[in-house]
Amino acid sequence: MRLAFVGKGGAGKSAISGTFARQLARRGDKVLAIDSDPLPGLAFSLGLAIEHSPPIPEDAVIERKEGEEGPRWRLSPDVDPVEAVEKWSVEAPDGVRFLQFGKIKSDPRALWRSQMAFRFVVNRLPAGHWNVVGDLPGGTRQAFTGWGSWASTICIVVEPTAKSLLSGRRLANMANLDPDAPKRVVAVASKVREDDDVEMIAKGTGLEVIAAVPWDEELAEAERRQLAPIDFAPDSPAVRAVESLVERLSEETVSR
């Protein structure tokens, strides 16, 4: 399973993706959680302190030599993607491995080579080695410009608000125009309060809604405290909804 979550900032994608990764690992699956947001939040949702997420070293990427073809920067031939994950990721609760894109502390250009290394490593991971669960940055910039190309399914997390619906619709349109987009692009309804919220999100985005995560004050409190929802409120309605999503996608993966 290779699943990426994207959506408008604040829609709940980090809380959902972190909880999804933990629930999947509890089933006995080998899980790699990746965060390609330079303003990250997935670490907290996994149950890690943000300081425990170092970027990939810059020397993992080398510059193209004069006369060579291809992109200016590429992964060093000395770097094996699987070994890179084992070396530079950290272990989160339930055995989840966590790989961080790098967080912005000052000038974002200081992380550029490390971020290119991250992209090369993730895109070259062998199929079947890990179940990969990713948290892409909020908004529409990264999802369909190559950063989400490693995923087989992209879940657009959408709240029942006008701004979130607009963002979800734009992302869905971008997926239709991107020849390299994953074959499956679906929606996850987040912070659902009313009976018709799911239908509104489906109509507003034109996407299949595969899960409805209800508005949950306990999940909101976990985020305020920068704690993993699955630890703070394991029996809350939102965490249970994500567990149901894990079960559904796991069953679909087995049946293929």
Residue 146 falls within a domain, yes or no?
Answer: yes
CA–CA distance, 94 with 22 (Å, rounded to integer):
6
Q: pTM of the predicted model, to two decimals?
A: 0.90
Residue 191 falls within a domain, yes or no?
Answer: yes
CA–CA distance, 104 with 50 (Å, rounded to integer):
12
Residue 223: give its domain's CATH number: 3.40.50.300
Run of H or E including 247: helix 237-255
Residue 162 falls within a domain, yes or no?
Answer: yes
Residue 256 falls within a domain, yes or no?
Answer: no
The residue count of the chain comes to 256
Q: By residue range, what is the domain housing residue 177? A: 2-251
Contact assessment for residue 187 and residue 151, using Cβ atoms and an 8 Å cutoff: no
Run of H or E including 136: strand 131-138
Residue 241 falls within a domain, yes or no?
Answer: yes
Residue 207 falls within a domain, yes or no?
Answer: yes
| pLDDT tens per residue across all 256 residues of the chain | 999 999 988 899 999 999 999 999 999 999 999 988 766 688 999 999 765 556 677 777 788 788 777 777 777 888 888 888 888 888 999 999 998 876 555 445 556 677 777 778 888 888 888 999 999 877 666 666 667 778 899 999 999 999 999 999 999 888 887 777 777 999 999 999 999 999 999 999 999 999 999 999 999 999 889 899 999 999 999 999 999 999 999 998 776 6
3-class secondary structure, 211: strand
How many domains is the chain built from?
1
